[in-house]
């Protein structure tokens, strides 16, 4: 399965789980660890955990691998590492504070998803 398909599978799972403000960052030319970073906002810490669990199930259902899941319910930030695609599921407070969109700079391709 192609990287594009993995990204699409992840985005569809996030939409189905009602994650908000989805954003895909194309970091292929500036990162050695991933081709794409997806950022999604969850309405609460519990919602973030639910979204991440459903994402992991969806990726495994498509017979793709998960390299790791990091973060605790209380942290407000769950990271799901699928190798070429890394997904950050954050509550709004964490997303505003860490500003991953700004961290990666202006030279990346930003793509708003559904």
**pLDDT for 40-96, tens place per residue?**
999 999 999 999 999 999 999 999 999 999 998 899 999 999 999 999 999 999 999
| Burial bucket for residue 74 (CB in 10 Å: 0-12, 13-18, 19+) | exposed
Going by pLDDT thresholds of 50, 70 and 90, the confidence category of residue 102 is confident
Q: What is the pTM of this model?
A: 0.88
| Homologous superfamily (CATH) for 3-112 | Beta Polymerase, domain 2 (3.30.460.10)
Going by pLDDT thresholds of 50, 70 and 90, the confidence category of residue 105 is low
| Cα gap 20→32, rounded to integer Å | 27
More confident residue, 29 or 40: 40
Say what the pLDDT of residue 107 is. Answer: 52
> Domain extents for the chain?
3-112
Question: Alpha carbon 106 to chain centroid distance?
Answer: 19
| Cα gap 14→28, rounded to integer Å | 21
| Cα gap 11→59, rounded to integer Å | 11
Is residue 10 a contact partner of residue 87, using CB atoms and an 8 Å limit? yes
Say what the pLDDT of residue 114 is. Answer: 47
Say what the pLDDT of residue 110 is. Answer: 53
* 17, two tokens: 């789980």
| Cα gap 84→33, rounded to integer Å | 7
Q: Rg of the Cα trace of the chain?
A: 13
Q: What percent of the chain has pLDDT over 70?
A: 88
Going by pLDDT thresholds of 50, 70 and 90, the confidence category of residue 109 is low
Count of beta carbons in the 10 Å neighbourhood of residue 26 = 17
């Amino acid at each position: 399965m192609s990287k594009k398909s993995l990204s699409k599978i992840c985005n569809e799972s996030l939409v189905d789980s009602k994650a908000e403000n989805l954003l895909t960052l194309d970091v292929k030319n500036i990162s050695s660890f991933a081709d794409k970073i997806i950022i999604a906002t969850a309405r609460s810490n519990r919602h973030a955990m639910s979204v991440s669990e459903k994402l992991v199930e969806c990726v495994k259902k498509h017979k793709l691998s998960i390299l790791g899941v990091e973060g605790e319910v209380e942290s407000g930030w769950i990271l799901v590492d699928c190798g070429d695609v890394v997904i950050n599921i954050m509550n709004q407070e964490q997303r505003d504070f860490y500003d991953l969109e700004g961290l990666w700079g202006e030279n990346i391709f930003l793509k708003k998803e559904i």
